[in-house]
């Protein structure tokens, strides 16, 4: 563990260089390709595809083997990463400039054990599994992603939340020098923030992903660490997390702040609650043929059996 006052300070600047080098060796052994290429090259993408970092991982409790994963090339090349661009191809390319090594996460708020932790120290305590989950964007497209990650709840428990911790807030990285949209507050205020109610965060479906398709997470998909909450619209699944805060009151997340009438706090997938500008009743499945019919969107993205009880006494039209 390291203590820092600002999350902008690089760990390499404040750690004794020899200790730092030693740590880096351990990390490399543990997490081989976190130190991955920062250049886009189709060959490298292919090479990465052919030698998985993680083979034969056990499956998460709600991983669904019957779902056919969307081709990796599509997941990697059609991304929403507004810090870089509002265009899905451009954000994919520009995200390669992201600096993800070293990476540390500040954890604060209503907990007994606050601190700033290296990602590798966090990973050492967690069991990586594969989670084949549906993923549904609020823009009405969807995919199936074989994430590699670990239970968010297991991690959050290690910080010993107090009984006053009702919400968990996540903050994305702020690197305006390489993130063009962070240079002004176009569309959103930066950094990107999202939040879950503590029971949602502790739910076994909620994970932190560090990979997909048996490999480390591509930068454009949220490397080195992102949230995945499969029963909610994709914008809740915040990328490149640098800060976790346990709070008494609900924070205002980036999208709710920019357009409160369009993006609510809950953002549970719900075919009966349309976006003000389009229906949420069906979705375009990425990778399906031109003539494949749209998929009928399911309440809670098909995870109702697991999550509906968390919302049993709530009017989902009001709390959208």
Footprint of ligand MTE on this chain (CB under 6 A)?
79-83, 137, 172, 192, 221-222, 234-235, 237-240
x/- contact string, 124-143, with Mo ion (CB under 5 A)? -------------xx-----
Distance of closest approach, residue 71 Cβ to Mo ion, in angstroms: 19
231 binds, among Mo ion, ligand MTE, none (CB under 5 to 8 A by kind): none
83 binds, among ligand MTE, Mo ion, none (CB under 5 to 8 A by kind): ligand MTE
Q: How far is CA 9 from CA 172, 224, 287, in A?
A: 15, 17, 41
x/- contact string, 218-237, with Mo ion (CB under 5 A)? ----------------xx--
The DSSP string of 153-204 is HHHHHHT-B-TT--EEEEEE---TTT-GGGGS-SSS-SS-EEEEEHHHHHST
Distance of closest approach, residue 145 Cβ to ligand MTE, in angstroms: 8
Distance of closest approach, residue 288 Cβ to Mo ion, in angstroms: 18
For 134: left if phi > 0, alpha if psi spans -120 to 50, otherwise beta; the answer is: beta
Q: Which is nearer to ligand MTE, 161 or 191 (CB)?
A: 191
Contact 265, 250 (CB under 8 A): yes
Distance of closest approach, residue 257 Cβ to ligand MTE, in angstroms: 14
Contact 253, 190 (CB under 8 A): no
Q: Which is nearer to ligand MTE, 237 or 256 (CB)?
A: 237
Q: Which residues contact 95 (CB under 8 A, 6 or more apart)?
A: 79, 81, 84, 218, 219, 220
Distance of closest approach, residue 232 Cβ to ligand MTE, in angstroms: 10
Assigned token pair, 149: 């990650």
């Amino acid at each position: 563990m390291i203590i820092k006052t600002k999350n902008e300070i690089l760990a390499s600047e404040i750690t004794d260089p020899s200790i730092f080098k030693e740590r880096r060796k351990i990390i490399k052994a543990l997490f081989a390709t976190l130190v991955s290429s920062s250049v886009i090259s189709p060959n490298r993408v292919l090479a990465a595809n052919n030698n998985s970092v993680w083979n034969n991982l056990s499956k998460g409790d709600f991983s669904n083997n019957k779902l056919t994963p969307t081709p990796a090339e599509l997941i990697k090349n059609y991304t929403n990463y507004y810090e870089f661009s509002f265009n899905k191809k451009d954000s994919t390319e520009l995200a390669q400039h992201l600096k993800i090594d070293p990476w540390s996460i500040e954890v604060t708020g209503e907990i007994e054990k606050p601190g700033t932790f290296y990602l590798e120290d966090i990973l050492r305590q967690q069991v990586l599994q594969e989670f084949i989950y549906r993923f549904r964007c609020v823009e009405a497209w969807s995919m199936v992603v074989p994430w590699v990650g670990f239970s968010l709840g297991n991690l959050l428990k290690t910080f010993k939340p107090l009984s006053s911790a009702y919400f968990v807030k996540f903050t994305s990285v702020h690197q305006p020098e390489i993130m063009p949209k962070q240079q002004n507050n176009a569309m959103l205020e930066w950094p990107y923030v999202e939040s879950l109610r503590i029971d949602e965060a502790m739910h076994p479906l909620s994970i932190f992903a560090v990979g997909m398709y048996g490999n480390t997470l591509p930068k454009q998909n949220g490397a080195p660490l992102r949230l995945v909450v499969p029963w909610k619209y994709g914008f809740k699944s915040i990328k490149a997390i640098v800060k976790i805060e346990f709070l008494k009151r609900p924070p205002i997340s980036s999208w709710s702040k920019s357009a409160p009438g369009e993006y609510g706090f809950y953002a549970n997938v719900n075919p009966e609650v349309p976006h003000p500008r389009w229906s949420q009743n069906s979705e375009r499945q990425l990778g399906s043929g031109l003539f494949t019919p749209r998929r009928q969107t399911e309440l809670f993205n098909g995870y109702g059996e697991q999550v509906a009880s968390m919302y049993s006494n709530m009017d989902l039209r009001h709390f959208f």
